[in-house]
Structure 1
């Protein structure tokens, strides 16, 4: 198990840094565009902002799945990238199909990737929740102002 953690630690660190960078970029861009469009808020602006955040976080998660797949290839667990990517996606999303199983030597990397994946999806979910709550708050404030006038 310690060897598995030593092998997985750099990959988990890369995934964490990638996720944090994407979250920071999304938050900054979201705040910038929200400020810019505040005067003429519309349903389409909300849709565009939420879609952008969702797509960026999803692409980030796909990239992390690819990083784990590359590790599995480097360890010789798979001969080609596509089965490694599929297996990685199943682990990262914590599906646990079990239709493809790694060798006994590296099998513990699956649960480690699953733990990493659930944390990264949690970060993506919290970012989306923050964006949705901001849209709700912004719309409530706008409606409140309209009712005053």
Structure 2
């Protein structure tokens, strides 16, 4: 308990300039990862239902490619929603002036941190890096999902099992 208290006190004391970044960033990571996992779980159930209800096995390659394409699009929509959650948080805490700029920054931070035309003030800079960390986690989950789905719907993979 004392270790947790000591760690928390470091975050909230005045001499810890980025403590507030961690206090906003960590819950945002947790929320977006949970949202992403639930979204990917829903998509995986739907993909398997659709895939197992196919009637013509000769068109499985085209159907597999379409399935992967649609699921990639829907995973991208999940990423957009999660970037929106971060953008709303940036506006709420006053780190960025409006939702349009916040969304631009958020997508940049989540995907290519360090290559944007919008910058946070010095005392908010760490939260952008924390969002980049969140992006790595979310994109890793999406990559694992798409790899699994590719194996699941691929005619060559299914034949070898």
Query: Normalising TM by the smaller chain, what interval?
Result: 0.7 to 0.9
Name structure 1 gaps, 5 residues minimum: 145-149
Contact 2:152–2:158 (Cα < 8 Å) also in 1? no
Q: Which runs of 4+ in 1 moved over 6 A?
A: none
Structure 1 position 4 matched with structure 2 position 21: yes
Alpha-carbon deviation of 1:97? 1.2
Contact 1:94–1:118 (Cα < 8 Å) also in 2? no
Residues 93-123 of structure 1 show CA distances to partners (whole Å, capped at 9, x for unaligned) of 0341143210112111011000001110111
Q: 1:46 to 1:2 in 2, by over 3 A?
A: same
User: Paired residue for 1:18?
Assistant: 35
The RMSD of aligned alpha carbons is 1.7
User: Paired residue for 2:125?
Assistant: 107
Name structure 2 gaps, 5 residues minimum: 1-17
* Distance (whole Å) between structure 2 residues aligned to residue 64 and residue 34 of structure 1: 27
Structure 1 position 29 matched with structure 2 position 46: yes
Structure 1 position 92 matched with structure 2 position 113: no
When normalised by structure 2's length, the TM-score is 0.79
Structure 1 position 47 matched with structure 2 position 65: yes
* Distance (whole Å) between structure 2 residues aligned to residue 68 and residue 141 of structure 1: 39
Contact 2:111–2:135 (Cα < 8 Å) also in 1? yes
- For this pair of structures, how many residues does the alignment match? 141
